Chains A and B, each alone.
Chain A
Amino acid sequence: MQFFIEVLLGGLLSGVMYSFVALGFVLIYKASGVFNFAQGAMVFAAALTFVGFQEMGLPFPAALLAAFAVMVVLGIVTERVVLRPLVNQPPITLFMATIGLTYVIEGLAQGVWGANVRGLELGIEDVPVQWLMDSTGIGVSTFDLFGAGVAALLVTLLALFFQYTRIGRALRAVADDHQAALSIGIPLQTIWRIVWAVAGFVALVAGLIWGARNGVSFSLTFTALKALPVLILGGFTSIPGAIVGGLIIGSTEKLAEVYLGEYVGGGIDSWFPYVMALAFLLVRPEGLFGEKHIDRV
């Protein structure tokens, strides 16, 4: 039982890590209907830029600000060069454009900062919490708890931003109906730029957390693959969905690997989340928190 709880807790906490990446997808999809595959590359670019600035001697907050500025510029350029000319194109074209963007970002990031693999220290140790370990024998990492805290903070911030600011309200209007939002004078392109900048910020946070855990290397782009099942489970348009989806995917994935893995040879966490999300979709095709879509002829 104790082991089960440990697996479950560990799974939930790694699910939070997936949610970080999924959040970025949701923000952009919600505001512009673009399935932004480049989110993984953005996570990589953000983390690499941050570490790069640190190597140049900038202190932590300055490097953070500089990396954020780079991500904002990247978002604005993307909106201007990629998205605006592709307005009104079918979603698949936009999707492919973001894959093209992935190559550009990967090439730029590695071209500028080099292919070297780097470490990233946030000053939080990735070791079990001692008193919990002593009293119950359950190992929960401090770093995981820190990650969960950051996630909670991030979601709260985003929720407040969307709920109480002018931009946030405009953003929700855009998400609801592009045409209607335009007709009441909401500047669509400004909103998109802001959303891409916010997504860049989320990518930076995700990059820092994942980078501190696994190092800053090209494989940060693979985090996108972990986020996709979270996304379909939680719905493409729901921020709470990204969190809840992450928790579900993280915990079931770990439980499956630990308890079912040995019967089928293990290594199932590459596909299990997808099959799990798929099974779920068969019951609820629009995801956990997705908007119900009604077809009219």
Chain B
Amino acid sequence: MKTKTLSKTLVGSVIVGGLLATAVADAFAQAKEQFIGLPSYRVGAYAAGGSGVFGGWIDYMAMINERDGGVGGVKLTWEECETEYNNARGVECYERLKKKGSTGNSVFQPVSTGITYSVLDKVVADKIPMVTIGYGRTDAADGRVFPWVFPMITTYWSQATTMVKYIGSKEGGIDKLKGKKIVYLYHDSAFGKEGLSVLEKQSQKHGFSFVPLPVAHPGNEQQSQWLKIRQEKPDWVILWGWGVMNPTALKAAAKTGYPREKMVGVWWSGAEEDAIPAGDASKGFTAAGFNVAGPNYPVIKAIQDKVYKQNKGNMEDKSRIGSVYYNRGVVHGIITVEAIRTAQGKYGKRPLSGEEMRWGFEHIDIDAKRLKELGAEGFMPNLKITCADHEGSGLVKYQQWDGKQWKIVSDWIEPDREMVRGMIEESAAKYAKEKGITPRDCSKEG
């Protein structure tokens, strides 16, 4: 019986394999193109985020092709692969995309922490840089242990420390936090637990009391948690939620009479998709972000001019252009393109391999002047990556929902670099020991 089973499978595989082979051959025929594989997700529970981020990213690359004829004369090409936010599908997409284009996939950005973990070892073996902007493995910011992984702009740990700083500033100074009580309402998963240890340390450092309250996935019922919050009477609530957990928390806060002005959210709870479903209950809620919302930036205008005016845009719902997720996708695009540009400066204006791209990412330096040229002043923070530090500035901005849209209410806030960097190095060293990795010596890197 088993015999035939396998034989059938094989016949099937040969057919599908043939299809794939022709597809790969097609891709090889084209030169002077830089291929970027996009492991997107547009169905299921995560579709709202996925369609926004990947839409913005694709639109930015289309704009670069349209306006500048690509980067240094090299056209950008891309192909999507549906992951459904599923780890196994993500691995398949990674493998499928990695050999495409004349030089293979230049960068893998899964926009999913689960898939990040699933391909962590594979990117090292295949020499493809992985960039995880605002998610993924925090301790990968130690570039000595994780040369191929770039948790850029800012990590969960940095973000948590900026939350404490932001709350401190609202209380009238970080020293005023002493004796205050902060509830940490988090999604009970790997994602939610990221904030635990660093906030614990922050509470010892600044002398506030810290009450963690987990919410079971998916978080569409929070009656008990909010009754507890009512009992605890905290001064602030940090909302570390995802998806439906965010509007549910906002509604439940309104229901128990907790002021939304005293709630600060993680950046995955600070999109229009989180605030709109809760209606009026979201008014006053503040959330972190490493990019801001709004279409009034030259870079977004350029996309509208060059792409949407010619009916080539990726978004079906044009009202979402300039939303938090969309702009986050544009940030993904900017960083990818800047890395290509940086690497071209060293290796010449031609399609680059994964290894060359890695050098590009490691030497990204987007300063204020460059941001202005990109038309992204105030849109995202400065970013300088080094061999040891794969995170960059770690800057976070806060936005408040005014009932209709997100309004910026803070400047870029510095994280507690000292504490975060210490924790990153400690955790990375533990990983290096477990895996038998010798950290590279950054003083010898060019």
Contact = CB atoms under 8 A, between A and B. Distances in A.
**Direct contact, A vs B (beta carbon within 8 Å):** yes
Interface of A: 3, 6-7, 10-11, 14, 17, 106-107, 110, 114-121, 126-128, 139, 141, 143, 210, 213-219, 221-223, 226, 253-254, 257-258, 261, 265-270
A216 B277 contact: yes
Given A115-B48, A128-B255, A258 B227 contact: yes
A110 B41 CA distance: 13
A143 B248 CA distance: 14
Contacts of B434: none
A48 to B, nearest CB: 12
A217 B243 contact: yes
B169 interface: no
B223 A10 contact: yes
B257 A106 contact: no
A270 B216 contact: yes
Nearest to B257: A128
A203 B336 CA distance: 45
Interface in B266-312: 273-274, 276-279, 281
A110 B316 CA distance: 13
The 3 tightest CB contacts between A and B, nearest first, are A215-B277, A115-B47, A267-B214
A215 B255 contact: no
Contact of B227 (A7, A116, A210): A7
A217 B217 contact: no
A229 to B, nearest CB: 12
Nearest to B277: A215
Contact of A266 (B213, B218, B255): B213
Interface of B: 42-45, 47-48, 50-51, 188, 212-218, 220-221, 223-225, 227-228, 230-231, 243-244, 247-248, 251, 254-257, 273-274, 276-279, 281, 316-317, 320
B244 A127 contact: no
A114 B50 CA distance: 12
5 contacts: A117-B277, A127-B254, A216-B277, A217-B48, A217-B277
Given A121-B279, A218-B47, A265-B214, A139 B317 contact: no
**Chain A interface helix/strand/loop/mixed:** helix
Nearest to B272: A117
Contacts of A3: 227, 231
Nearest to A141: B255
A118 B217 CA distance: 20
Given A3-B231, A214-B251, 9 more contacts: A117-B247, A139-B256, A213-B248, A213-B251, A215-B244, A217-B45, A218-B47, A222-B244, A270-B216
Contacts of A257: 224-225
Nearest to A253: B224
A118 B50 CA distance: 16
Contact of B221 (A14, A107, A120, A143): A14
User: Which interface residue of A114, A117, A210 has the most chain B CB atoms within 10 A?
Assistant: A117
Contacts of A11: 223-224
A6 B214 contact: no
A279 to B, nearest CB: 19
Contacts of B316: 114
A208 to B, nearest CB: 14
A126 B255 contact: yes
User: Which interface residue of B216, B231, B255, B273 has the most chain A CB atoms within 10 A?
Assistant: B255
A139 B281 CA distance: 17
Contacts of A114: 316-317
B356 to A, nearest CB: 35
Given A107-B43, A267-B214, A215 B278 contact: yes
Contacts of A141: 255
A107 B218 CA distance: 20
B244 A6 contact: no
Contacts of A213: 248, 251
A11 B226 CA distance: 12
B216 A219 contact: no
Contacts of A254: 223-224, 227
Contacts of B44: 106, 218
B43 A110 contact: yes
A276 B218 CA distance: 20
Contacts of B51: 115
User: Which interface residue of B50, B247, B274 has the most chain A CB atoms within 10 A?
Assistant: B247
A268 B225 CA distance: 11
Nearest to A213: B251
A151 B43 CA distance: 32
A213 B230 CA distance: 19
Contacts of A117: 48, 247, 273-274, 276-277
B216 A269 contact: yes
Contacts of B42: 115
A276 B276 CA distance: 35
A139 B188 contact: no
A221 B43 CA distance: 13
B224 A269 contact: yes
B281 A126 contact: yes
Contacts of A127: 254-255, 257
A214 B220 contact: yes
